[in-house]
Amino acid sequence: MSTEEQAVEAPVEDDARAEGEPTDDAKPAPSWWHRDHPTFSALSGFFTGLLFVALVPAAFVGVLSVVFDTEEAEDLFPFVLLTLVVPLALIASKRTRRFGKYFLLGMVLTAVVVVGVGSLVLWYLVEHQQ
Total Cβ atoms within 10 A of residue 50: 18
Longest dimension (CA), the chain: 85
**Cβ proximity of 80 and 19 under 8 Å:** no
What type of residue is 33?
Answer: W
- Running DSSP on this structure, what letter comes out for residue 96? T
Question: Would you give per-residue pLDDT tens digits along the chain (130 residues)?
Answer: 555 555 555 555 555 455 555 555 666 655 655 556 778 888 999 999 999 999 999 999 999 999 999 999 999 999 998 988 999 999 999 999 999 999 999 999 999 999 999 999 999 999 998 6
